[in-house]
Amino acid sequence: MARVNHDDPYLWLEDVDSEAALAWVAERNAETEAALASDPGFDAFAERLREVLDAVDRIPYTTRRGPYLYNFWQDAEHVRGVWRRTTLEQYRKDAPEWETLLDVDALAAAEDEKWAWAGARVLRPGHDRALVSLSRDGGDAVVVREFDLAARAFVADGFTVPEAKTSIGWIDADTVFVGTDHGPGSLTDSGYPRTVRRWRRGTPLAEAVTVFEGEAGDVSAWAWHDSTPGHERDFVGRSLDFFRSETHLLTADDTLVRIDVPEDAEVYAHRRHLVVTLKSEWLGHRAGSLLAFDLDAFLAGDRTAEPLFTPDERTALAGHSWTRHHLILEVMRDVSTRIEVLTPGEDGGWSRAPLADVPPLSAVGVTDTDPDVSDEYFLDVSGFLQPSTLTRGTIGGDSEILRQAPARFDTTGLTVEQAFAVSDDGTRVPYFVIGPDRSAGPGPTLLYGYGGFEVSLTPAYAALTGRGWLETGGTYVLANIRGGGEYGPGWHQAALGAHRHRAFEDFAAVARDLVARGITTPPQLGAAGGSNGGLLMGAMLTRYPELFGAIVCQVPLLDMVRFHKLLAGASWIAEYGDPDDEADLPHLLDLSPYHRLDPAAAYPPVLLTTSTRDDRVHPGHARKAAARLREQGHRVLFHENTGGGHAGATDNAQAARNKALMYSFLREHLGS
């Protein structure tokens, strides 16, 4: 193991808005701009990337609410975006007529605030009111305001919640469930709501009645009102950690009835069904299975389940969506998706049939359904070199192609293949290779990974990668390492806690395999990842520096001894371990890239990026690592956006510039 540094002279960089820290950030940003953005072609390059994001002919994905299809849209004219809606009849047209509900740019200008859209909860079934969330410059904390959809205006005396990491949802037109910052003791150690309260219109928020309360050590408490006609009911619960929770039915007299499923299972009610996704074996069913119970029978003690999906070694459930009479399953087999429809029988049992043909090495996803009313679905299909096609259909009826996204980059000579590397313990690790024919020899290659929180990386059309990297002759590789969800819960759990090194070993195995197959060489191989993927990049830098010619580390976790003390970090203890637990501290020190940095090591050049307004992963991780790397004499550039939250950008210009900096850095060090 590399030398472990226990001292930390850079704690002052954790003071996000201090004068000294921001001055340091400004100096580093200037250095990075001079190194990467001073080339005469940089601005044109960034603008070409922005064209992709601002393109007016990209698909406007929608959510159906009653007769309208709702969409949030950003482009060059609407930098902060507009919330808008249209009808299906209009949506079928090449140039639909949209009704603007809320212009965020106009609101930001009127209130002199850098508002960013953070979503809306629309009241069912009338769809005449919404609870709109807005964040300041892209952070996770939001303000909530009630919005009148008919008047297209905020309600002067409506529900309003000050800035916090708030959860809120409608019960009826005059009542909401709200979890927010009510003062001392109302938040968990992770900074999320610890209590759920029932708040009635016209009463002060402080007088809202507490209906459920979690513990300080939980991640959060939550509530949900099911407004399905004939199945109206309330549920409350608490997230014990990132992967364990408990759920209760809240009766009319506020009595709690525990939904007795494993803590690591995901559970919800849909009409008469109780739907359970397993993360571990239960009642003889495999981890990764999807089960349906009769809710009333379950509450009476009956544990008879209908298995809707049972995984095997090569398949995992990617998602599922209800229509009025059916259930649509998205299933991954070796990380490529297929889709099928399940239909419950009147006398029990479910029939199943395929819904759509999907090309190999592609991804398909249900973007929207309307489960209260119809069997309508919206389906998106794309691939690495295949722009999205959006289809609308009715199960058992006709389907129509509504939109086909145009090609954004030249795919001439590009191919896609899937391969498997063998990790240190013999595990076969899948990865996708997108790039030119390498018969002429190895070339610049970018390897991307994440490997955490059961997040799956699946095929998708990435126009920015196409324009920024593939068109310049580069190869792009997507690694499906352990820690993700590509093969279900077991694939994730194999890299939890003290076993995190397996995700690192998987990624290194892919890197070696790319070299062994002649696709690239170590000096031509770059790696990139963000957030938990930033931790992965820190591990590549400190554990496998000889495998890479350059590394891009975005909004990263890097200090694994203090992550739980910074912003939302305490919510990730279940993923990594607890630094305050003597049993976990040794492996966290071993995992921690910040503590492994070695002045004697030969590191490849690294670009570290973050955001001042990231209130999820603290910018101190990237700041401190950059400072220590500079102190040790390593080649490091650092760039911090003042806004953008965890995404690193709140508008398309900022997002395009971030990408341009990354690709310019990689081209400089890997060639093109």
**pLDDT of 2:** 40
H-helix segments, 55-157: 88-91, 104-111
Average pLDDT over residues 531-549: 98
Cβ contact 121:146 at 8 Å: no
Assigned fold of 11-50+408-670: Rossmann fold (3.40.50)
| Token pair of 45 as six digits | 């390059």
Task: Determine which helix (DSSP H) or strand (DSSP E) holds 657, and give its type and residue range.
Answer: helix 652-670
Quote the CA–CA distance of 187 and 195 in Å, as a whole number: 8
Can you give the pLDDT at residue 321? Answer: 97
Please say whether the beta carbons of 492 and 454 come within 8 A. yes
Which entry of 225, 621, 646, 669 is annotated as an active-site residue?
646
Nearest to 4 by CA among 540, 632, 598, 583: 598
Reported as a single tens digit per residue, the pLDDT across 37-56 is 999 999 999 999 999 999 99
Please name every residue paired with 352 in a beta bridge, in sequence order, or none if there are none: 342
Alpha-carbon distance of 645 to 655, in angstroms, equals 12
Question: What is the CA angle 612-618-622, rounded to 5?
Answer: 80
Do the beta carbons of residue 370 and residue 376 sit within 8 Å?
yes
Helix residue ranges, H only, 450-550: 463-468, 489-493, 501-516, 532-543
Residue 58 to residue 403: CA distance in whole angstroms: 9
User: Which residue pairs from 405-408 have beta carbons closer than 8 angstroms and sit at least 24 positions apart in sequence?
Assistant: 405/57, 405/58, 405/59, 405/461, 406/55, 406/57, 408/52, 408/55, 408/461, 408/463, 408/466, 408/467
**Which pLDDT tens digit goes with each residue over 58-100?**
999 999 999 999 999 999 999 999 999 999 999 999 999 999 9
Q: Is the pLDDT of residue 149 over 70?
A: yes
CA distance 504 to 611: 25
Sheet of 336-344: strands edge to edge? 315-322, 327-333, 336-344, 350-356
Judge whether 401 and 391 are in contact, CB under 8 Å. yes
**pLDDT band at residue 6 under the 50/70/90 scheme:** low
Residue 671 clears pLDDT 90, i.e. is over it:
no
The whole-angstrom separation of Cα 285 and Cα 283 is: 6
pLDDT at 348 over 80: no
Q: Identify the pLDDT of residue 361.
A: 83
Provide the mean pLDDT of the chain.
95
Strand partners, 164: 142
Q: What is the structure's pLDDT at 672? A: 64
Q: Is 270 one of the catalytic residues? A: no
Confidence (pLDDT) at 437: 86
Give 1's pLDDT tier (boundaries 50, 70, 90).
very low
Tokens of 582: 């003597």
In the numeric block, the tokens 């999205």 are attached to 388
- For the chain, what is the largest distance between any 2 Cα atoms, rounded to a whole number of angstroms? 74
Angle at 130 between CA 149 and CA 64, to 5 degrees: 80
Distance CA 193, CA 210 (A): 12
Q: Nearest 5 degrees, angle CA 334-CA 549-CA 50?
A: 70
Q: Is 646 a catalytic residue?
A: yes
pLDDT digits (tens, 9 = 90+) for 187-219: 999 999 999 999 999 999 999 999 999 999 999
**What is the percentage of the chain residues whose pLDDT exceeds 70?**
99
Rounded to 5°, angle at Cα 579 from 574 and 583: 85
Q: Which two structure tokens, joined as six digits, stand for 212? A: 């459920």
pLDDT tens profile 291-330: 999 999 999 999 999 999 999 999 999 999 999 999 999 9
What confidence tens digit (pLDDT) does each residue in 234-279 have? 999 999 999 999 999 999 999 999 999 999 999 999 999 999 999 9
Mean pLDDT of 324-341: 94
Catalytic residue (one of 239, 388, 531, 664): 531
**Which amino acid makes up residue 302?**
D
Task: Give pLDDT tens digits for 162-172.
Answer: 999 999 999 99
Question: Structural domain boundaries of the chain?
Answer: 11-50+408-670, 312-405
Binning pLDDT at 50, 70 and 90, where does residue 438 land? confident
Per DSSP bridges, beta strands 306-309 and 315-322 are unpaired
The predicted model gives 644-666 an average pLDDT of 92
Task: Label residue 357 by pLDDT band (50, 70, 90).
Answer: confident
